[in-house]
């Protein structure tokens, strides 16, 4: 069988069981599990449960401090500097956004620069959380170098993802969530796991030549989206997440996938705007709906059945996943079974629908 479907709750329960075996428990572990499974529900499998083994290994080796508590080390009321203290990235982001929301309710906005962080998962998980509370929410991160600048052939920038979520009424939260390379490197890693080719234009090999071989791409470098435009945006994120925070620059950041001895040392930049401080939230949502309606109802190109707004496909995927389950390839399923055996968790939990 090439693939099978699982209830989201089945995969969530399995994730929590594995985390329990490495000592990561309580509400933080549940939030982390939610972040992984939301990625699968959204159709962003590269950031979903396929990463569980790596997260578990990082915890088991003590490369991440699951007991760390973030700390505000510089406070300017509407702008705070947070030290993650090498804590789990998802937990740090949730803690930081909560602090920003508290302050934005008083001052109208709050932004945070975060250092000493670890991979924060899918950016949309964090920005959606803020948008659901009526906040326009932004989250960015640098990452270990895997992207060549326009004109270069050596990885010098990270995938440097960014996510922005904007509340609306009719469409829920409109969420832009993207890496600044053509695709997230996780998609190349997943293609390599599954023995699939990748499209030309995603990456180059060690010599700077275009490649459709994910193994060659992982030895070479990813490419920025849109050429110099993506490169420029990635560079701005790099500056906000490393120069501003004091975190490692991408070339010095440690690999999430391969380094089980050293903390990653990532930097994040995030923040929220309390829309209700400027105009009633319902009025803003109505105006946003009007804009999105005009986009949705605008003339379509030949052969196009529907125009999508950012995040809409993922929103539909989440609804479908909760109705019909999450589809996992046989290679990923086999990896989860091996993980269960390795950590002494019953593979019976992984019962397909």
Helix (H) or strand (E) run with residue 187 in it? helix 185-194
Q: At what angle do helices 123-131 and 89-107 cross, to 10 degrees?
A: 30
- HSE (CB half, 13 Å, CA atoms) of 248? 21
The full DSSP string for 58-112 is HHHTTSS-TT---EEEEE-SSEEEEE-TT--HHHHHHHHHHHHHHHHHHHSEEEE
pLDDT at 309: 97
The pLDDT tens digits of the residues spanning 142-152 come to: 999 999 999 89
* Banded pLDDT at 3 (limits 50, 70, 90): confident
The pLDDT tens digits of the residues spanning 299-309 come to: 999 999 999 99
Structural contact between residues 292 and 308, judged by C-beta atoms closer than 8 angstroms: no
Contacts of 172 (CB under 8 A, 6+ apart): 315
50: which DSSP letter?
Answer: G
End-to-end CA distance of the chain: 14
pTM confidence score = 0.92
Q: Where does residue 195 fall: left (phi above 0), alpha (psi -120 to 50 degrees), or beta otherwise? A: left
Domains for the chain: give ranges and CATH numbers: 1-60+327-353 (1.10.1530.10), 68-177+228-279 (3.30.1370.60), 182-223 (3.30.60.50)
Give the rounded percent of residues in the chain with a pLDDT score beyond 90: 94
The length of the chain, given as a count of residues: 353
Query: Mean pLDDT, the chain, as a whole number?
Result: 96
Exposed, middle or buried by CB within 10 Å (0-12, 13-18, 19+), for 301? Answer: exposed
* pLDDT (mean) for 71-98: 98
* pLDDT (mean) for 70-76: 98
The vertex-47 CA angle with 42 and 53, nearest 5°, equals: 130
* Banded pLDDT at 183 (limits 50, 70, 90): confident
Cβ atoms within 10 Å, residue 26: 10
Contacts of 82 (CB under 8 A, 6+ apart): 70, 71, 72, 73, 92, 96, 99, 112, 113, 114, 115
Contacts of 300 (CB under 8 A, 6+ apart): 306, 307
- Inform me whether the pLDDT recorded for 315 exceeds 80: yes
* pLDDT (mean) for 140-167: 95
Higher pLDDT, 190 or 61: 61
- Inform me whether the pLDDT recorded for 1 exceeds 80: no
The pLDDT tens digits of the residues spanning 244-264 come to: 999 999 999 999 999 999 999
pLDDT at 260: 96
* Banded pLDDT at 185 (limits 50, 70, 90): confident
The pLDDT tens digits of the residues spanning 273-307 come to: 999 999 999 999 999 999 999 999 999 999 999 99
pLDDT at 23: 97
Q: How far apart are CA 61 and CA 55, in angstroms?
A: 10
Of the candidate ranges 57-66, 180-189, 249-258, 319-328, the one whose mean pLDDT is the lowest: 180-189
* Banded pLDDT at 193 (limits 50, 70, 90): confident
Q: How far apart are CA 81 and CA 100, in angstroms?
A: 11
């Amino acid at each position: 069988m090439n693939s099978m479907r699982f209830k989201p709750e089945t995969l969530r329960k399995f994730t929590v069981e594995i985390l329990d075996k490495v000592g990561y428990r309580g509400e933080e572990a549940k939030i982390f599990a939610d972040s992984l499974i939301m990625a699968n529900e959204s159709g962003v499998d590269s950031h979903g449960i396929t990463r569980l083994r790596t997260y578990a290994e990082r915890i088991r080796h003590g490369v991440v401090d699951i007991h760390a508590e973030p700390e505000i080390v510089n406070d300017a009321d509407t702008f705070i500097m947070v030290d993650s203290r090498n804590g789990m990235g998802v937990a740090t982001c949730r803690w930081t956004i909560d602090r920003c929301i508290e302050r934005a309710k008083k001052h109208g906005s709050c932004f945070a620069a975060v250092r000493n962080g670890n991979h924060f998962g899918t950016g949309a998980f964090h920005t959606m959380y803020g948008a659901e509370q009526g906040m326009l929410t932004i989250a960015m991160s640098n990452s270990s170098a895997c992207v060549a600048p326009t004109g270069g052939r050596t990885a010098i920038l990270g995938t440097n993802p960014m996510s922005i979520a904007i509340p609306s009424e009719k469409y829920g939260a409109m969420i832009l969530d993207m890496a600044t390379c053509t695709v997230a490197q996780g998609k190349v890693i997943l293609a390599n796991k599954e023995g699939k080719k990748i499209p030309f234009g995603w990456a180059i090999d060690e010599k700077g030549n275009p490649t459709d071989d994910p193994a060659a791409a992982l030895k070479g470098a990813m490419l920025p989206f849109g050429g110099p435009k993506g490169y420029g945006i990635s560079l701005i994120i790099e500056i906000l997440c490393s120069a501003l925070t004091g975190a490692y620059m991408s070339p010095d950041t440690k690999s999430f996938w391969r380094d089980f001895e050293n903390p990653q040392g990532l930097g994040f930049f995030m923040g929220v705007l309390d829309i209700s401080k400027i105009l009633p939230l319902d009025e803003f949502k109505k105006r946003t709906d009007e804009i999105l309606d005009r986009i949705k109802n605008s003339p379509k190109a030949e052969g196009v059945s529907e125009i999508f707004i950012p995040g809409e496909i993922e929103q539909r995927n989440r609804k479908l996943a909760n109705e019909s389950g999450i589809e996992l390839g046989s290679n990923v399923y086999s990896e989860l079974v091996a993980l269960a055996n390795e950590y002494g968790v019953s593979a019976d939990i992984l019962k397909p629908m």
